[in-house]
């Protein structure tokens, strides 16, 4: 049975960043990344908006706020040094009604508190200068919000890992774990693996892996599918950069928005609906056991009662293209149903507490010699280098 200093469960961008950081600090360590799929970065890493967030949204003092701001700077520096293409497209967060202005002001306050000092509050004329086809009464302008291909970033992280002597083993799903005071044994599809420390970055399966180590299943992972549309190429001129709504601070989703990607394709969305499978990227994907486990959660039932109106609206937009476009026309009135085509989708691994709250902050905790990343949705890709440093710090304290 092979033995390692550190075994990392999950070959997504966070797991790879952690492996890379540990090896950068201690090249002599024996590191293995165990990925259940046939290749790395198959889920949240390659099914996201591709935005390098600047840190505007997050509660000052939270892990998200701190790691997003430092992670964004680190990631753009890493891309510059490594020749990975990225573009500072800039983002406008647009208020279209006076009722949104207090929330816009709160976002500005958070940006300043988080150290995102280049954000400015602008009026309708400046909005039109930045995004000629957008409308709004006020907005926040974040000129350094950028876009990148996170799957490519993850691939370069993986190259860093293997060139430093680390191993990445694919098709090695972890199905069980036996831990003692000195090591853990991971039962995988390809045989057992022993490690002194284990770092679990299992994304959509974070709660299941946590349970294997004896940790609580709470917070539970609830999969939310987000569907995108894309603009027809001849209508891509409607959007220069990123156009976002003012989000509802009680709900950890940013609302449908416009994003011009690194390849210049413009995506619209995503919505947020319950996925009927942990890896349910299509409306027709259905795993009865996955869905039943979610529906039986007391926390989910409390969440559904609290947000049933929001949920119904999201489901309606999911099946009705005109309703989806109508939500976007609030920001770009020229947009027409005929301008949009079906796009990709993603599944967000969202942690849910037993009292029915969708956890907004990153959750990282430990049981014995196993460190769990329990909640790492957006901006985890932006923050990946900073999360990797956080994990390496925790292991270095041993």
- Model pLDDT, residue 252: 61
- Model pLDDT, residue 190: 94
SS3 at position 391 = helix
The whole-angstrom separation of Cα 236 and Cα 117 is: 30
The whole-angstrom separation of Cα 20 and Cα 387 is: 11
- Model pLDDT, residue 161: 98
CATH 3.30.9.10 location in the chain: 86-146+223-350
Q: Would you report the helix, strand and coil content of the chain in percent, each value rounded to 5?
A: 35, 25, 40
The whole-angstrom separation of Cα 221 and Cα 215 is: 14
- Token couple for 176: 């069980």
86-146+223-350 classified as CATH 3.40.630.10: no
- Token couple for 9: 């469960």
SS3 at position 247 = coil
Mean pLDDT by 10 residues, the chain (398 residues): 96 98 97 98 95 96 97 98 97 97 96 96 98 98 98 98 98 95 94 97 96 93 96 98 88 83 96 94 95 95 90 89 96 98 96 93 94 95 98 87
- Model pLDDT, residue 326: 96
Q: Which of 149, 37, 24 is nearest to 83 (CA)?
A: 149
Task: For the domain made up of 3-45+151-219+360-396, give the CATH fold.
Answer: FAD/NAD(P)-binding domain (3.50.50)
- Model pLDDT, residue 217: 87
- Model pLDDT, residue 255: 81
- Token couple for 250: 């009680």
CATH 3.50.50.60 location in the chain: 3-45+151-219+360-396
My answer on whether omega of the bond before 219 falls inside 30° of 0, hence cis, is: yes
- Model pLDDT, residue 382: 98
Residue burial 193-226, b: 16+ Cβ < 10 Å; e: rest: bbbbbbbbbbbbbbbbbbebbebeebbbbbbbbb
């Amino acid at each position: 049975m092979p033995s390692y200093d550190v075994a990392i469960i999950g070959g997504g961008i966070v797991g790879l960043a952690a492996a890379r950081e540990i090896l950068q600090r201690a090249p002599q360590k024996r590191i293995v990344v165990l990925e259940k799929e046939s290749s790395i970065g198959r889920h949240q890493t390659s099914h996201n908006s591709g935005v390098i967030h600047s840190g505007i949204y997050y509660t000052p003092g939270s892990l998200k706020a701190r790691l997003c701001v430092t992670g964004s700077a680190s990631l753009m520096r890493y891309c510059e040094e490594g020749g990975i293409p990225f573009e500072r497209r800039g983002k406008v967060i647009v208020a279209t009604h006076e009722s949104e202005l207090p929330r816009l002001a709160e976002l500005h306050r958070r940006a300043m508190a988080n150290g995102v000092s280049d954000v400015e509050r602008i009026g309708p004329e400046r909005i039109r200068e930045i995004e000629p086809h957008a409308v709004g009464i006020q907005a926040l302008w974040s000129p350094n919000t950028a876009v990148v291909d996170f799957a490519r970033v993850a691939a370069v992280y993986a190259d860093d890992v293997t060139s430093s002597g680390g191993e990445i083993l694919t098709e090695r799903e972890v199905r069980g774990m036996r831990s003692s005071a000195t090591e853990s044994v991971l039962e995988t599809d390809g045989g057992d693996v022993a490690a002194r420390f284990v770092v679990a970055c299992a994304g959509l399966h974070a709660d299941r892996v946590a349970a294997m180590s004896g940790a609580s299943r709470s917070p539970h992972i609830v999969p939310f599918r987000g569907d995108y549309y894309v603009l027809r190429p001849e209508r891509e001129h409607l959007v220069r950069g990123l156009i976002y709504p003012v989000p509802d601070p009680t709900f950890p989703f940013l609302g449908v928005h416009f994003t011009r990607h690194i390849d210049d394709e413009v995506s619209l969305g995503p919505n947020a609906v319950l996925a009927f499978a942990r890896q349910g990227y299509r409306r027709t994907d259905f795993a009865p056991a996955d869905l039943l486990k979610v529906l039986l959660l007391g926390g989910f039932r409390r969440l559904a009662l609290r947000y049933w109106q929001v949920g119904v609206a999201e489901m309606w937009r999911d099946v009705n293209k005109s309703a989806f476009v109508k939500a976007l026309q609030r920001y770009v009135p020229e947009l027409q149903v005929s301008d949009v085509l079906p796009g990709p989708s993603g599944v967000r691994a969202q942690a849910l507490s037993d009292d029915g709250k969708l956890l907004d902050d990153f959750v990282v905790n430990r049981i014995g010699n196993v460190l769990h990343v329990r909640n790492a949705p957006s901006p985890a890709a932006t923050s990946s280098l900073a999360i990797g440093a956080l994990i390496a710090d925790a292991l270095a304290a041993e």
